[in-house]
Amino acid sequence: MSETTVMGFHYTLKDKSGTVIDSSVGGQPLVVMLGRGHIVPGLDQALPDLGVGDQKNIVLSPDEAYGPANDELRLKVRKDQFPPDAQLKVGDQFQTQPEPGAPVFTVMKIENDEIFIDGNHPLAGVELHFDIEVTEKRPATEEELAHGHAHAGGSCGHDH
Ligand SMILES: [Zn+2]
Residue 141 CA to ligand 1 center (angstroms) comes to 11
Residue 151 CA to ligand 1 center (angstroms) comes to 6
CATH 3.10.50.40 residue ranges of the chain are 5-66+124-154
pLDDT of residue 84: 84
Residue 158 CA to ligand 1 center (angstroms) comes to 6
Residue 108 CA to ligand 1 center (angstroms) comes to 35
Looking at the DSSP bridge assignments, the partners of residue 145 are none
The pTM score is 0.79
pLDDT of residue 93: 92
Per-residue confidence of the chain (160 residues) as pLDDT tens digits?
Answer: 468 999 999 999 999 999 999 999 999 999 999 999 999 999 999 999 999 999 999 999 999 999 999 999 999 999 998 888 888 899 999 887 888 778 889 999 999 999 999 999 889 999 999 999 999 999 999 999 999 999 987 678 765 5
CATH 2.40.10.330 residue ranges of the chain are 71-118
Looking at the DSSP bridge assignments, the partners of residue 6 are 33, 138
Q: What's the chain's length in residues?
A: 160
Residue 123 CA to ligand 1 center (angstroms) comes to 27
Are 131 and 73 in contact, with CB atoms under 8 Å apart?
Answer: no
pLDDT of residue 95: 85
Which residues are near ligand 1, the ion (C-beta closer than 5 Å)?
147, 156, 158
Are 124 and 68 in contact, with CB atoms under 8 Å apart?
Answer: yes
pLDDT of residue 2: 65
Sign of the dihedral defined by the CA atoms of residues 90, 99, 45, 48, in that order: positive
Measure the CA–CA gap between 76 and 114, rounded to whole angstroms: 6
Class at the top of the CATH hierarchy for domain 71-118: mainly beta
Class at the top of the CATH hierarchy for domain 5-66+124-154: alpha beta
Measure the CA–CA gap between 47 and 9, rounded to whole angstroms: 9
pLDDT of residue 85: 86
Q: Using DSSP bridges, classify how beta strands 5-14 and 20-23 pair: parallel, antiparallel or unpaired.
A: antiparallel
Residue 5 CA to ligand 1 center (angstroms) comes to 15
Looking at the DSSP bridge assignments, the partners of residue 22 are 13
Residue 6 CA to ligand 1 center (angstroms) comes to 13
Are 108 and 90 in contact, with CB atoms under 8 Å apart?
Answer: yes
Report the candidate in 5, 9, 6 with the shortest Cα–Cα distance to residue 134. 9
